Amino acid sequence: MPGSEVEKIKEDSRALRGTLKETCESDASHFSHEEYQLLKFHGSYQQDDRDQRNERKKAGQDKAWIFMIRTKTPGGSLSSKQYLEFDRIAGDLGNNTLRITTRQGIQFHGILKAGFKETIQRLNRVGVTTKGACGDVVRNTLAAAAPFQNAVYREVQRLAKELSDTFLSRSRSYTEIWLDGKKLNADVPNDSPTDEEPIYGKVYLPRKFKFAIAVPPYNDIDVFTNDVGFIAHAPNGQVEGYNVFVGGGLGMTHGMLKTHPMLAQPLFYVKKEHAPAAAVAIVTMQRDFGNREDRKISRLKHVVEDRGIEWVRQEVGSRLKAPTEPIKPFAFVSVADLLGWHEQGDGKLFCGIFVTEGRIQDAHDVHYRSAFRVIAEKFGFPMRFTANCNLYFHDIDPSKRKEVDEILKAHKVPHTDGFTESRKTAHACVALPTCGLALAESERIFPALMDSIDGVLRELKLEKEPILFRMTGCPNGCARPYNADFAFVGRAPNKYAFFVGGSIVGDRLAGLEKKMVELKDIPSVVRSYLKEFAEKRKNGETFSQYWGRTHVNGAKPVPEQFHIELAEREARLAGAKQPASVSE
C-alpha cells in the first residue's frame, strides 16, 4: 500500500531539510505545501491571520502569512532568564503575546517570515529548542507541574527531560538551517554526524506522539489523554516505578465514525530504571505498526484498538526485555492546578497563577505580561507552565510573598479566591484567528461564556463544585474536551457540539448530548443539566460522580458515543423509531 502524501514528503526530505533553507533565505512570502509539512518538525506552523482572510481575498491580496513557533520545555520548566527572553521575543518579533499551551510549552504567534530564523536562534541561545515541538515525532513531554521540592517530583521532572532528549531528532537539518551550523544550545543532545535517526528511522513516526508523567493524587497533566502515560508509584517518598498506560488520544472528525477519542489503557508496571526502555519499546512498536496510509487513523490508539491491549502487551514485552508487573493501585483526585500560595516542602513557597486561556498579554485591563516580567526581573524565581495553561513561580522565600502579591495586584492579575471552582479549571483552545483548522471561536469567546456559566453556577449554588468545562474550536481536541464534565466543540461559526460526562479526574470520556448548540444557548442548555444535578445528587457527590451513577459512558467508549446523540443512541438500542436529531 502506498503511504500517505506526508510519508512521501518525509522520505524525500533528506532528513527534514527539503528546501526550507532556500525558501527561508528567498523573498518568497511563505513556504510551499511540502515545506510546510517539514516546517512542523522544526517547531512551527505556517498560518495566516484569518481575521483578514476574506477582506484580503476580496481585494485580490495574498494571505497575511504569519508563523506560530512552539517551544519544547519538558515538564514546563524554565528559568526566569529564559522567560525574560521569551517575553522580549514576543515583543520584538511576535504579536506581543505568549500563549502557554496545554502541553506545558509556549507558542509565539504572529511571527513574520523575516523574523523566523531570529526567533529560533534567540530561543536556542537561552537553551530552549523548538525541534520536534510539532511533527511526526515525540512532542513536548508533560510532567506533574506542581513545583513541590521532594524526591518524587524531582525524579519525575528528570525523567521528562530524559525522555525528551532520548526522542529528540538527531538530524543535523535544524542546526544547519536555523542555527547556521553552530550548536547554540548546550542543553540539547548532539546531532548525529550522519543524520541517522536511531529510534525514528528515515520516515519518522506515522503521526505525533505524546508522553505524560503524573504523580498521584494530582492528574494535573491529564495523563490518560496521552499516547503513553507514566503514573509514578512512590509508596515511601521515592519513585520505585511507573504504571504505564497506552493509547490515549483525542482527535476526531465530526460525523466520521472511524475517528474517536480514546483514553489510555493499563499496560503494565515497570521499575523506574526500565521506564525509558519501556518508552522506546512502545515508540518503536508504533513506528513499525502505526498506520501510514490514513493519517486519520494513524495514532497509537488505533494500534491498541485494532490489535487489542493483550497483543500490544506481548509486542512491547518482546522489545523491552525487562521484567514487568501488573498495574499497582493508585488514585487521582483532580486535573486541577494548585492555584494560590503553597508550601513546596523545603521551607519555600510556590505561587500558582491563573492565566486566562493561557494568554500572557497586557489586555482587557489585566497586565499579565508586565506582571510576570516584573516578577521575573526582580526576583529571578524559576517557573513552570502547567497543562491547564497556568503558571507557577517557585522557590519563593516566604518574606517575598507580600511583594509578589502586590505586583500581581498592581497589574490586576485576578485572585482566584473569588472564582467559582469551575472557572479555576475551565479552558479553551487557541482557535481563531491563528488556527487554520478552527471551525468556530474558542479562546476569544470563552471568558464571556464562562461569565454566563458562572452566573448559572452561582444561581444554583454550585459555585464551590468542581465541574470541568472545556471548549475547542474544532473536534481535534487541543483543550482536551472529551474527558471534561461539559465540553463545547466547534462545528461552524457560533455552533458547537455539546458533550457531557467526562470527569474532573480525567479518567472518563464524555458522550455527545447535542449535535449542535448555538453559542448564545449554551448557558441555558448547561443550566438544565446543572439543575437536574442540584436536585438529584446524593450525599454530596460531585457532578462527575453523579453522572457516573446515573449514566453509562466512558468505561468502554464506543465510536457512536462521539457522533450520535445520546437520545438517538438510546432510541436505537431500544429498537424504537429514531427521533429527529435536536438541531440537524
Residues noted as catalytic = 70, 139, 208, 210, 429, 435, 474, 478
Beta-ladder partners of 143: 213
Q: Which of 113, 122, 172, 210: binder of ligand SRM (CB under 6 A)?
A: 210
φ, ψ for residue 541, nearest 5 deg: -65, 150
Q: Which of 225, 334, 386, 503: binder of ligand SRM (CB under 6 A)?
A: 225
Q: Which is nearer to ligand SF4, 43 or 216 (CB)?
A: 43
Q: CB 180 → ligand SF4: shortest distance, Å?
A: 32
Strand 98-100 and strand 241-246: the pairing is unpaired
Q: Which is nearer to ligand SRM, 422 or 483 (CB)?
A: 483
Contact characters 524-563, ligand SRM, x per CB under 6 A: ----------------------------------------
Distance CA 416, CA 419 (A): 5
Given a contact cutoff of 8 angstroms between Cβ atoms, the answer to whether 530 and 468 are in contact is no
Range 189-194 contact pairs with CB under 8 angstroms and sequence separation of 24 or more: 189/165
Residue 50 is placed in which grid cell? 484569518
Cβ neighbours of 481 (radius 10 Å): 30
Of 177-185, 294-302, 318-326, 426-434, the window that binds ligand SF4 (rule: CB under 6 A) is 426-434
Contact characters 466-495, ligand SF4, x per CB under 6 A: ------xxx-xxx-----------------
- The item of ligand SF4, ligand SRM, none sharing an interface with residue 371, based on CB under 5 to 8 Å by kind, is none
3-state secondary structure of 322: coil
Size of the site for ligand SF4 (CB under 6 A): 13
- Name the strand (E) or helix (H) holding 511: strand 511-518
- The item of ligand SF4, ligand SRM, none sharing an interface with residue 474, based on CB under 5 to 8 Å by kind, is ligand SF4
Distance CA 190, CA 165 (A): 10
Of 28-36, 325-333, 361-369, 473-481, the window that binds ligand SRM (rule: CB under 6 A) is 473-481
Binders in 58-77 for ligand SRM, by CB under 6 A: 68, 70
CB-nearest residue to ligand SRM: 251
Q: CB 303 → ligand SF4: shortest distance, Å?
A: 23
Binders in 413-432 for ligand SRM, by CB under 6 A: 429-430
Of 12-20, 269-277, 282-290, 435-443, the window that binds ligand SRM (rule: CB under 6 A) is 435-443
- The item of ligand SF4, ligand SRM, none sharing an interface with residue 107, based on CB under 5 to 8 Å by kind, is ligand SRM
Residue 493 within binding range of ligand SRM, rule CB under 6 A: no
Q: Which of 126, 435, 487, 525: binder of ligand SF4 (CB under 6 A)?
A: 435
Q: Which is nearer to ligand SF4, 168 or 450 (CB)?
A: 450
Q: Which is nearer to ligand SF4, 75 or 473 (CB)?
A: 473
Cβ neighbours of 380 (radius 10 Å): 14
Residue 445 within binding range of ligand SF4, rule CB under 6 A: no
Beta strand residue intervals within 253-365, DSSP E = 265-271, 340-343, 349-353, 359-360, 362-363
Distance CA 405, CA 442 (A): 30
Residue 442 within binding range of ligand SF4, rule CB under 6 A: yes
Residue 503 within binding range of ligand SF4, rule CB under 6 A: no
**Given the C-alpha cell 488514585, which residue does it identify?**
331
CB-based contacts of 98: which residues, under 8 Å, 6+ apart?
Answer: 86, 87, 90, 106, 107, 108, 359, 360, 361, 369
Q: Which is nearer to ligand SF4, 101 or 386 (CB)?
A: 101
3-state secondary structure of 26: coil
Q: How many CA atoms lie within 13 A of 538 on its CB side?
A: 6
- Name the strand (E) or helix (H) holding 492: strand 486-492
Q: Which of 88, 95, 93, 91 is nearest to 49 (CA)?
A: 95
Q: CB 567 → ligand SRM: shortest distance, Å?
A: 27
Residue 10 within binding range of ligand SRM, rule CB under 6 A: no
- The item of ligand SF4, ligand SRM, none sharing an interface with residue 422, based on CB under 5 to 8 Å by kind, is none
Q: CB 356 → ligand SF4: shortest distance, Å?
A: 16
DSSP per-residue codes, 117-163: HHHHHHHHHTT-B-TTSSSSSB-PPEE--S---SHHHHHHHHHHHHH
Q: Which is nearer to ligand SF4, 407 or 509 (CB)?
A: 509
Q: Which of 159, 479, 489, 509: binder of ligand SRM (CB under 6 A)?
A: 479
Distance CA 350, CA 256 (A): 45
Range 18-22 contact pairs with CB under 8 angstroms and sequence separation of 24 or more: 20/173, 20/177, 21/176, 21/177
- The item of ligand SF4, ligand SRM, none sharing an interface with residue 473, based on CB under 5 to 8 Å by kind, is ligand SF4
Q: CB 238 → ligand SRM: shortest distance, Å?
A: 28
φ, ψ for residue 210, nearest 5 deg: -130, 130
φ, ψ for residue 231, nearest 5 deg: -115, 115
Residue 321 is placed in which grid cell? 526485555
Q: CB 230 → ligand SRM: shortest distance, Å?
A: 15
Residue 185 within binding range of ligand SRM, rule CB under 6 A: no
Distance CA 488, CA 509 (A): 14
Residue 128 within binding range of ligand SRM, rule CB under 6 A: no
Beta-ladder partners of 271: 241
Binding residues vs ligand SRM (CB under 6 A): 45, 47, 68, 70, 101-103, 105, 107, 139-140, 208, 210, 225, 249-251, 299, 358, 389, 429-430, 434-437, 476-480
Binding residues vs ligand SF4 (CB under 6 A): 429-431, 435, 437-438, 442, 472-474, 476-478
